[in-house]
């Protein structure tokens, strides 16, 4: 298996190279040059770990032996708190919730990030230089990355988050980790600013010459690769010909992972994107308009994103792997702040995806509705998807993704239900712990200086 870039379809990079680079040197995102097709019948009656091995093995192309890969996978999920790792909860006839909050930081990001941490450690055994991991987070990616990489030998981790724009639990999960290799950076801006700084530093030849910089955001293909697993896993728990998924989305990585599963043979009828009031993805799918707008602060902060980095992968696919066209679109979008797709591309997108923007009010009402009707408590990100699930009249199974434990967003939960969620014991004392965090202006040079100072 070789990998190309969305901005250079002639590349043929190895898996190990794209793992450590994260973002291509041309600014593009990596994708496999072809999709491995899986026979779903061979996956039936297998454990989550066995399904994971079958899905990931074709992508690593013998660069990690099957035996080592399976050990990495076993190690990844051994401490998840549910025996099924990602259980499927039946809420009503043909309506299901895929619960993805049984990892160490109680969010779906753990499912890929724990794998990534173990994979990096394995591959680093053959390297002598130090690795600098750089990532931006709108909330959950940061804590998942910190938990996965804390204390790892020869790996420093710099995580950027928007100052005062994540929940208190999300911030504390990051900043109360005092390991020497962890650096939390609060940027005076929004998530899109953090993401921009990360991308600019990856294209900075000066810093790349001084350290091996790598990405752990979902711009890193390995993150998406690991997320494909739970879509197959969910389908295998239902005896039906096809299934539709509802995916709360901000940066487009999770729902593109579902589309990757579709390309690998998973019989998905429709992928329904749920956004919050930051509805850029909804505008693209419905109207073909990619437009940069101000980020609104909502009850679902991990989705408070206007520039969805992973959507570039979908653009590349929708234009038939035309990297020159992708370069042209991204240049125009960068200069003008908008780009309008023609009708044929809109039609292509709508053949794969549906979308709905869910208001702040609707999010709170949905949390309340599911608690009263089903005695099911959700976090506000999950609620954006559940608001869609509530209104579908399904003739086949619909699965909505539960993104995080409700205790991580107790302000919204209390507003919706009048009481807070029960807090997992791992989070009970987090508010009493000391924090370690650096607050910086919204400037790339300030972050670059901090990294270089701590090499």
* pLDDT for res 239: 78
Tell me the per-residue pLDDT of 285-320, one tens digit each, with 9 for 90 and over: 999 999 989 999 999 999 999 989 999 999 999 999
Tokens of 82: 């549910």
* pLDDT for res 114: 95
Q: Please determine, for residue 212, whether its predicted confidence score (pLDDT) is greater than 90.
A: no
- How far apart are the C-alpha atoms of 46 and 370, rounded to whole Å? 32
Domain boundaries, the chain: 88-107+222-417
Where does residue 211 rank: exposed (0-12), middle (13-18), buried (19+ CB within 10 A)?
Answer: middle
Tokens of 220: 């890193």
Contacts for 400 with CB less than 8 Å, ≥ 6 apart:
95, 96, 97, 98, 245, 246, 382, 385, 386, 388, 389
Percent of the chain surpassing pLDDT 90: 87
- Average pLDDT in the 30-45 region? 96
- Report how far apart, in Å, the C-alpha atoms of 239 and of each of 37, 227, 264, 271 are: 20, 21, 19, 19
- How far apart are the C-alpha atoms of 103 and 226, rounded to whole Å? 14
Taking the alpha carbons at both ends of the chain, their separation in whole angstroms is 33
Closest CA to 400 of 415, 385, 411: 385
- Average pLDDT in the 390-417 region? 96
Q: Please determine, for residue 140, whether its predicted confidence score (pLDDT) is greater than 90.
A: no
- How far apart are the C-alpha atoms of 75 and 157, rounded to whole Å? 21
Tell me the per-residue pLDDT of 317-374, one tens digit each, with 9 for 90 and over: 999 999 999 999 999 999 999 999 999 999 999 999 999 999 999 999 999 999 999 9
pTM of the model: 0.93
Centre a 10 Å sphere on the Cβ of residue 207 and count the other Cβ atoms it contains: 21
In this structure, are residues 89 and 96 in contact, taking their beta carbons and an 8 Å threshold?
yes
* pLDDT for res 82: 97
Tell me the per-residue pLDDT of 125-137, one tens digit each, with 9 for 90 and over: 877 678 899 999 9
Highest mean pLDDT among 166-175, 199-208, 356-365: 356-365
In three-state form (DSSP H/G/I as H, E/B as E, the rest C), the secondary structure along the chain is: CCEEECCEEEEEECHHHHHHHCECCCCCEEEECCCCCCCHHHHCCCCHHHHHHHHHHHHHCCCCCHHHHHHHHHHHHCCCCCCCCCCEEEEECCEEEEECCCCCCCECHHHHHHHHHHHHHHHHCCCCCCEEEEEECCCHHHHHHHHHHCCCCCEEEEEEEECCCCCHHHHHHHHCCCCCCEEEEEECCCHHHHHHHHHHHHCCHHHHHHCEEEECCCCCHHHHHHHHHHHHHHHHCCCCCCEEEEEECCCCHHHHHHHHHHHCCCCEEEEEEEECCCCHHHHHHHHCEEECCCCCCCCCHHHCCCCCCCHHHHHHHHCCCCHHHHHHHHHHHHHHCEEECCHHHHHHHHHHEEEEECCHHHHHHHHHHHHHHHCCCCCHHHHHHHHHHHHCCCCCCEEEEECECHHHHHHHHHHHHCCCCCCCHHHHCHHHCCCCCEEECCCHHHHHHHHHHCC
φ and ψ of 220, to 5 deg: -80, 120
In this structure, are residues 434 and 131 in contact, taking their beta carbons and an 8 Å threshold?
no
Closest CA to 281 of 310, 244, 258: 310
- How far apart are the C-alpha atoms of 212 and 155, rounded to whole Å? 10
* pLDDT for res 426: 87
Q: Which residues are catalytic?
A: 109
- How far apart are the C-alpha atoms of 48 and 236, rounded to whole Å? 10
- Report how far apart, in Å, the C-alpha atoms of 379 and of each of 232, 360, 382, 409, 445 are: 24, 13, 5, 6, 36
In this structure, are residues 275 and 357 in contact, taking their beta carbons and an 8 Å threshold?
yes
Looking at every residue in the chain, the average pLDDT score rounds to 95
* pLDDT for res 61: 80
Q: Please determine, for residue 211, whether its predicted confidence score (pLDDT) is greater than 80.
A: yes
- How far apart are the C-alpha atoms of 297 and 363, rounded to whole Å? 13
* pLDDT for res 372: 98
Is the torsion defined by CA of 77, 78, 84, 89 positive or negative? negative
* pLDDT for res 362: 98
Angle CA 342–343–345, to nearest 5: 70
Closest CA to 82 of 230, 239, 254, 258: 230
Instruction: Domain 88-107+222-417: give its CATH code.
Output: 3.40.50.1100
Q: How confident is the model at residue 139 (pLDDT cuts 50, 70, 90)?
A: confident
- Average pLDDT in the 366-390 region? 98
Centre a 10 Å sphere on the Cβ of residue 412 and count the other Cβ atoms it contains: 25
Closest CA to 254 of 218, 220, 303, 307: 218
Percent of the chain surpassing pLDDT 70: 100
Tell me the per-residue pLDDT of 79-118, one tens digit each, with 9 for 90 and over: 999 999 999 999 999 999 999 999 999 999 999 999 999 9
Q: Please determine, for residue 153, whether its predicted confidence score (pLDDT) is greater than 90.
A: no
């Amino acid at each position: 298996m070789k990998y190309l870039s969305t901005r250079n379809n002639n590349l043929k990079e190895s898996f190990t190279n794209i793992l450590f680079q994260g973002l291509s040197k041309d600014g593009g995102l990596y994708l496999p040059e072809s999709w491995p097709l899986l026979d779903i019948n061979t996956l039936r009656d297998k454990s989550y770990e066995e399904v994971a091995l079958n899905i990931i093995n074709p992508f690593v192309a013998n660069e990690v032996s099957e035996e080592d890969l399976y050990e990495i996978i076993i190690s990844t999920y051994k401490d998840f708190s549910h025996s099924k790792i990602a259980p499927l909860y039946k809420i009503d006839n043909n309506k299901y919730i895929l619960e993805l909050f049984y990892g160490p930081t109680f969010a779906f990001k753990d499912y890929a990030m724990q794998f990534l941490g173990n994979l990096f450690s394995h591959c680093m055994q053959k390297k002598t230089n130090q690795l600098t991991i750089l990532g931006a987070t709108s909330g959950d990616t940061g804590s998942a990355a910190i938990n996965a990489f804390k204390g790892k030998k020869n790996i420093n981790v710099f995580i950027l988050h928007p100052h005062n724009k994540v929940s208190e639990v999300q911030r504390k999960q990051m900043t109360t980790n005092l390991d020497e290799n962890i650096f939390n950076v609060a940027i005076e801006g929004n998530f899109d600013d953090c993401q921009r700084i990360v991308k600019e530093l990856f294209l900075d030849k000066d810093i790349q010459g001084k350290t091996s910089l790598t990405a752990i955001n979902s711009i890193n293909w390995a993150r998406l690769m690991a997320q494909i697993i739970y879509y197959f896993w969910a389908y295998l728990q239902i005896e039906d010909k096809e299934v539709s998924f509802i995916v709360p989305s901000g940066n487009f990585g999770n729902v593109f992972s579902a589309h990757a599963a579709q390309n690998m043979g998973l019989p998905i009828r429709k992928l329904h994107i749920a956004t919050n009031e930051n509805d850029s993805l909804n505008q693209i799918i419905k109207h073909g308009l990619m437009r940069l707008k101000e980020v609104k602060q909502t009850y679902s902060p991990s989705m408070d994103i206007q520039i969805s980095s992973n959507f570039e992968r979908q653009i590349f696919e929708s234009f038939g792997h035309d990297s020159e066209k992708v370069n042209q679109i991204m240049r125009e979008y960068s200069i003008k702040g908008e780009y309008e797709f023609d009708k044929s591309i809109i039609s292509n997108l709508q053949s794969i995806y549906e979308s709905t923007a869910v208001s702040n009010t609707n999010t709170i009402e949905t949390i309340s509705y599911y608690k009263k009707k089903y005695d099911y408590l959700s976090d506000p990100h999950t609620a954006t998807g559940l608001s869609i699930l509530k209104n579908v009249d399904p003739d086949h199974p619909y699965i909505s993704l539960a993104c995080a434990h409700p205790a991580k967003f107790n302000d919204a939960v209390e507003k919706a239900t009048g009481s807070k969620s029960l807090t997992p014991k791992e989070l009970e004392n987090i508010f009493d712990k000391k924090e370690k965090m650096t607050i910086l202006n919204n400037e790339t040079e300030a972050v670059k200086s901090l990294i270089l100072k701590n090499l």
